[in-house]
Amino acid sequence: MSIKFLKALSMLITVSLLMVASAGCGGSGGGGSGNSDEIVIGVLVPTSGSEAYYGTDMLQSYQLAVDEINEAGGVLGRTLTLYQADDGCNANMATQAASKIVSHGVDFVVGGYCSGATIPALQQFYDANLVTLVSAANSTEITKLGLNQTFMFNSPGNHAADTLVDLLRFLGSQSVALIHQGDAYTKDLSDICESVLPQNGIDIATVQVMEKGSADVSAIVTAIRNSGADFVYWCGYHADGSNVIKQLRQGGYEGDIAVGDGSASVELITASGPAGEGVYVTSPPFVEFASGGDTFVADYTAKFGAGPGTYATLCYDTMYVLKEAIEKVGSTDFEQVRDAVQNADYKGLSGRIKFTSDRELEVSNFIILQIKDGSFALVTI
Catalog residues that contact another protein under the rule CB under 8 A: 2-3, 6-7, 10, 48-50, 52-53, 182, 206-211, 213-216, 218-223, 225-226, 228, 239-240, 242-243, 246-247, 249-252, 267, 270-271, 273-275
Residue closer to another protein, measured from CB, 27 or 305: 305
The 10 Å Cβ neighbour count of residue 252 is: 9
Nearest distance from residue 222's CB to another protein, in Å? 5
Q: Kindly state the smallest distance separating residue 252's Cβ from another protein, in Å.
A: 4
Report the residue number, 267 or 333, with the smaller CB distance to another protein: 267
CB of 318 to another protein, least distance (A): 25
* Cβ contact 374:275 at 8 Å: no
**Are 232 and 205 in contact, with CB atoms under 8 Å apart?**
no
Task: Quote the DSSP letter at residue 355.
Answer: B
Query: In the Cβ-directed half-sphere of 192, how many Cα atoms lie within 13 Å?
Result: 23
Q: Which is nearer to another protein, 44 or 80 (CB)?
A: 44
Residue 304 or 346 having the CB closest to another protein: 304
Looking at beta carbons only, is 7 or 347 nearer to another protein? 7
- Which alpha helices (H) appear in the chain, and where do they start and end? 2-26, 52-71, 91-104, 115-127, 140-144, 157-171, 184-199, 218-227, 238-250, 266-272, 293-304, 312-329, 334-342
Rounded least distance, CB 84 to another protein, Å: 16
- Burial pattern 101-122, b for ≥16 Cβ within 10 A else e, equals bbbbbbbbbbbbbbbbbbbbbb
Q: How far is the CB of 363 from another protein (least distance, A)?
A: 33
How near is the Cβ of 142 to another protein at its closest, in Å?
A: 24
Rounded to a whole number of angstroms, the CA Rg of the chain reads 21
Beginning with the edge strand found earlier in the chain, give each strand of the sheet holding 231-234 in spatial order: 203-209, 175-180, 231-234, 256-259, 280-283, 367-372, 375-378
Nearer to another protein (CB atom), residue 7 or residue 144:
7
**Residue number, 68 or 191, with CB nearest to another protein:** 191
Give the residue from 244, 234, 326 showing the smallest Cα distance to 281.
234
Q: What is the DSSP string of 227-293?
A: HT-SEEEE-S-HHHHHHHHHHHHHTT--SEEEE-GGG-SHHHHHHHGGGGTT-EEEES--GGGSTTH
- Min CB(50)–another protein separation in Å: 6
CA distance 224 to 247: 12
Compare residues 271 and 326 and give the one whose CB is closer to another protein. Answer: 271
Quote the least distance from Cβ 298 to another protein, whole Å. Answer: 26
